Amino acid sequence: MQTQRPMSTVTPTLDGDVLVALASAPDVTFTTGQIERLLRLGESSKGSLTGIRKVLNRLTAEGVVERQQVGGTMAYTFNSEHLAASPIRELARLRATLLERLEETTTAWAVPPVFGVLFGSAARGRMGTESDIDLLLVRPVEADEEMWDQQVLSLTAQVRRWTGNDADVLVLDESEVVANPVDPVLVEVAVSGLPFAGRATWLRGLQARHGRR
């Protein structure tokens, strides 16, 4: 799975990328040029304007997309009432669903993490087909090591089943994060990571306090 191209789990074509762009903003009307820029900026596709027009014609014919003329330009909107709209929206939000599952799973642990965050290419939307799902878990001081390791091992297997990608889990003790919250890896995590466990501002708060020393 590639978080920036969720539809590639079912179709590797440009159609999926265009659907994600439209379904992610169902109340917005887009021109062909605006869709092309969205895909380019999001690095989800390199479809040409001609290719995108062909896709929009196909999706309009299926009723998933509605077309209207705005001035001298054709504009397109996702049809939220279409029977296929719900599953399309679910596919379009796969990264959000991954974060929800990570939160639900780690919250239910006997020893939950102090902080958990998705980072790296999965968080930034720059994944390749062989990319790992990078996770940082901060282990509480009082955690039983054997129990904790079993929890992490189970999560690693679950992430593989959920996504088809290997999970690369970085585990740090709470004490070492508190002692050096401005480690380069932690700085990167704070900037681009997507928290799913613990207080979302926990790491940034440590870094802010460290900077005031």
The predicted-structure confidence for 35-80, as pLDDT tens digits, reads as follows 999 888 766 667 789 999 999 999 999 999 999 998 889 999 999 9
Residue 195, SS3? strand
Q: What angle do CA 151, 157, 159 make, to 5 degrees?
A: 100
For 94-211, which CATH class? alpha beta
Whole-model pTM?
0.87
Domain ranges of the chain: 6-92, 94-211
Q: What is the pLDDT of residues 81-139, one digit of tens each?
A: 999 999 999 999 999 999 999 999 999 999 999 999 999 999 998 898 889 999 999 99
- Pull the structure tokens for residue 181: 């919250």
Q: What is the pLDDT of residues 176-190, one digit of tens each?
A: 999 999 999 999 999
Report the topology of domain 6-92. Answer: Arc Repressor Mutant, subunit A (1.10.10)
* Rounded CA separation 86/6 (Å): 15
Strand 167-173, strand 194-197: pairing: unpaired
